[in-house]
Structure 1
Amino acid sequence: MGQMEPTTGTKVKPQAELVDAFPAYQGRKVARAKSAARRRAILEAALRIAARDGVRGIKHRSVAQEAGVPLAATTYYFRDINELISDAFLLFAERASHDIQSFCDTLGLVLDNQPPEDLARKSPRRGLLARRLGTIANAFIESHVNGGRDRMLVEQVFLIEALREPHLAEMARRYRHSWIAGLRGVLERLESPHPHEDATLVIDLAFGMGYDQLLGLPGGEAVSLKRGVERMVNLILGVGYE
């Protein structure tokens, strides 16, 4: 994925560009709809196992049992377990990229409907815009933190496993970059002086909130999440802290 030049008014990157940043699936290619459905069912089963038992629980036999397919099916579509794990992570990463792009598209629509002068960093209406964006960001993060425990577990499991396994590390880097790149386009339009760094901070905070919620730490409840998101948006947009 190429670097974006910081330009006021830059539109959010199209969804296809973020999704195409990921490598191709490694498993056996299929053409028939029935074969594609079975292959996907195997990957879906691997993701459920990852959320329940961790990556180490993903074995050909356990995945076949979870998917309700013959053991021979998993070895037919995936030559080894690393190939199956990589493709399962890729399926998860593509879904997450669609989520972040949908979120960025929503933010982009809000910005499209603002007068150009309201997007300026020194605009007197910056606080109002910050509140609108904060409401959208809070709804997005809250829905993921409070309504997607399995999704967050899979994310944590794969990212931690990527620290051990080189074949997952590059995909983990691209996965993280897809989140940062989407937000960076929005922050450039808002005249952030450091859009890449600010986007990284937002992603780090969102990931941290998810981790804290999984652990049951204070701060995972709705009120605390809302306050944290509002403060993050205000800091990045330079509202009340300059």
Structure 2
Amino acid sequence: MADQQHRGGTRLGRRNDPDRRDRIIDACLDVISRHGVSGTTHRKVAAQADVPLGAMTYYFDGMDELLREAFTRFATGVSDVFARRMEAASDAQEARQAVVTLILEDVFGDDRALVLSHELYTLAAREPAYRALTTAWMARSRDALERHFDPETARMLDALIEGLSIHRALDDQARDPREVEIAVERITRA
């Protein structure tokens, strides 16, 4: 009976709000970005999504399933931006600039993305299911980088993106954006 009622994230007869499941996932990311994973509850997510609290268990078996879906959506979205930037680069110099833009604008320029990344990394350090998400995310990033750089350089650039983003986010002193350009240049010219 449950299988007949639940198809593709919506139950039969619930056609009046076909985007509800997606809204819940997006709301979960918003709540995580403000309260962290440990402060994320069904009640907060339901309020953010403007859905009844009962909708949470209607669409998700529990908080872990919701978190996995939310972080999958987040990681895929970041990977898509990453891939588009790298695909738009027509040569190595444009690819270097795309990496700089990824660090300064897409990662460091978005506090929400930065917080969500760190929350996901923390979960991945403890939970294999989340580690699988980050591993797939890193693989997609390296694939995008390998459009312009050899695999070893792509791996170093991927680590640089993560490392510089963390350092720039947590440093109390304002950093010169030129240091990102210098670091990318040094790794890609080696």
Give the alignment's TM-score, normalised by structure 2: 0.84
SS of the equivalent of 1:136 reads: helix
Question: Which residue of 55, 58, 61 corresponds with 2:37?
Answer: 55
1:114 is aligned to: none
Q: Percent identical across equivalent pairs? A: 26
Q: Cα gap change, 1:53/1:28 in structure 2, threshold over 3 Å: closer, same or farther?
A: farther
The 5 A counterparts of 1:222-241 are: 222-235=177-190
Query: C-alpha deviations, 1:129-176, integer Å up to 9, x for none?
Result: 54x443333233221244211101101111211111222221221111
> What is the Cα deviation at residue 227 of structure 1?
2.3
Determine if contact 1:219/1:225 at 8 Å carries over to the other structure.
no
2: distance between equivalents of 1:33 and 1:232? 52
SS of the equivalent of 1:186 reads: coil
Q: Does 1:137 align with 2:73?
A: no
Where does the alignment leave 5 or more consecutive residues of structure 2 unmatched?
A: 1-5
Question: Which residue of 157, 174, 178 corresponds with 1:202?
Answer: 157
Q: Cα gap change, 1:152/1:33 in structure 2, threshold over 3 Å: closer, same or farther?
A: farther
1:72 maps to a residue whose letter is: G
> What is the Cα deviation at residue 223 of structure 1?
2.5
1:46 is aligned to: 28
Tell me: higher relative CO, structure 1 or 2? Use CA pairs within 8 A at least 6 residues apart. Answer: 1
Question: Which residue of 1, 4, 8 corresponds with 1:29?
Answer: 8
Q: Cα gap change, 1:41/1:134 in structure 2, threshold over 3 Å: closer, same or farther?
A: same
1:176 is aligned to: 138
SS of the equivalent of 1:86 reads: helix
> What is the Cα deviation at residue 222 of structure 1?
1.6
Question: Which residue of 127, 135, 149 corresponds with 2:111?
Answer: 149
2: distance between equivalents of 1:66 and 1:43? 10
Where does the alignment leave 5 or more consecutive residues of structure 1 unmatched?
A: 1-26, 112-128, 188-194, 236-242
How many residues were matched structurally?
182
1: distance between equivalents of 2:7 and 2:17? 10
Q: Cα gap change, 1:148/1:203 in structure 2, threshold over 3 Å: closer, same or farther?
A: same
> What is the Cα deviation at residue 211 of structure 1?
0.6
Determine if contact 2:124/2:131 at 8 Å carries over to the other structure.
yes
> What is the Cα deviation at residue 87 of structure 1?
0.3
Query: C-alpha deviations, 1:29-76, integer Å up to 9, x for none?
Result: 236775442111111111112222211122211111122211011111
2:171 is aligned to: 216
Q: Cα gap change, 1:136/1:101 in structure 2, threshold over 3 Å: closer, same or farther?
A: closer
2: distance between equivalents of 1:146 and 1:181? 21
Structure with max Cα Rg: 1
> What is the Cα deviation at residue 230 of structure 1?
2.5
Question: Which residue of 57, 60, 65 corresponds with 1:75?
Answer: 57
Determine if contact 1:212/1:219 at 8 Å carries over to the other structure.
no
Give the alignment's TM-score, normalised by structure 1: 0.68
